[in-house]
A = this chain, B = another copy of it.
């Protein structure tokens, strides 16, 4: 952790620079896997699953029996917790449904739009030791509310061919039936291209390692939509003298444990807080199972004390994925926020609540992408198709406007499409 008290402009800018990522160029590998999946389909998928994940699934799709076993294996406590989170996430994402009324923009000219679920979507859930069943909720629930007809969830099996029961239970309880035992590049290739047994999809969602990220980028270059660009997770915590250092330290660590490349930043108008928080971070860190990852991540942590008047500008310049506001002037800060992914307001609103169960989505723009991107929401799973209907009176009124504009753009056929109709209407009037 590096501490800064009233840094000058340049120091502050450097302090808020995100750690540079070492990125391998995986494009040749990705292209070769995609080409092979295109040519050999399921056989290629099985070969890569064996090679990269240590298990070749005979049946790519999880069976009913496997879903049942998972449900039986899971503790009732965890099932109840997942169910409660599910309800909250469902409530918040249902409230995002748009019901736009038609607008009569000119007399006889009516325009509206309708949200329609993307027909086929793919959800990627990483494997590894920690089973990210919470991400199944965050992607699956809005996909189902959106009315996506074909939802394929891909997640790698372990070396015994098993998928974590929490992932299967969650998929099953929210209504996802198609879970395919595939991870990494081959999973993204399968979702992008389809095979004998797997449908291709139009948009791919979900987190992943550098292989998954590179494969999603390649899929995007083929015309398949993706949720958003990837980057390491991060949190900015804004605190004042009234904030509890224990809470602040816990919030910083909850982000730091994600991985060595996660960045955590504390900004405060109370200089004495920096030392208190650092002490508290070190105390809590000692007891964490994921201590090593967190320790690495803390190398790029920043504790910054500035004048209160500078806080909003710092938030917006950093554009944090997660922003925790733990001050006595939160409302003022909220009003000034332009760039952030998701905001957690008050001493009793840790990021963890939103990561799992408050109802908001946890798939959020990292790496400053909050400047241009929103987090995943119901919007991510629909297209808003526009419609318009014009009456004869409507085109008589608006047609001449369009004729003039089309002529000025030298698009005569555009003009004619109006002119022929106006002529017909005027002829009919004269009859």
Contact A353 B390 (CB under 8 A): yes
The one of B113, B385, B391 in contact with A337, judged by C-beta atoms closer than 8 angstroms, is: B385
A345 → B minimal CB distance (Å): 4
Contact B109 A100 (CB under 8 A): no
Q: Which residues of B contact A109 (CB under 8 A)?
A: 88, 353, 358-359
- Docked CA distance A421–B348 (Å): 7
Binds B, one of A9-17, A62-70, A399-407: A399-407
Contact B373 A383 (CB under 8 A): yes
Contact A402-B357, Cβ < 8 Å, known A250-B413, A338-B116: yes
Which residues of chain A from 208 to 228 have a CB within 8 Å of any chain B CB? Answer: 217, 221, 223-225
Assign chain A's interface to a size class: 35 or more
Interface presence of A178 (CB below 8 A): no
Q: Which residues of B contact A250 (CB under 8 A)?
A: 413, 416-417, 420-421
The one of B91, B100, B398, B404 in contact with A78, judged by C-beta atoms closer than 8 angstroms, is: B404
Q: Which residues of B contact A382 (CB under 8 A)?
A: 374
Interface presence of A426 (CB below 8 A): no
Q: Which residues of B contact A412 (CB under 8 A)?
A: 257, 288-290
Q: Which residues of B contact A103 (CB under 8 A)?
A: 91-92, 95, 359
Binds B, one of A35-43, A46-54, A125-133, A181-189: A125-133
Which residues of chain A from 130 to 145 have a CB within 8 Å of any chain B CB? Answer: 130-134
Contact A348-B288, Cβ < 8 Å, known A100-B95, A385-B340: no
Contact A358-B247, Cβ < 8 Å, known A130-B410, A342-B385: no
A333 → B minimal CB distance (Å): 11
- 22 A-B pairs with CB atoms under 8 Å apart are A78-B405, A88-B106, A88-B398, A103-B359, A105-B359, A109-B358, A111-B360, A130-B409, A133-B409, A224-B372, A244-B424, A246-B424, A254-B414, A257-B412, A289-B410, A343-B387, A346-B390, A348-B421, A352-B402, A352-B417, A353-B390, A354-B386
Q: A352-B406, A370-B383 are in contact. List 6 more A-B contacts (CB 8 A).
A: A81-B405, A217-B221, A254-B414, A257-B413, A356-B406, A365-B383
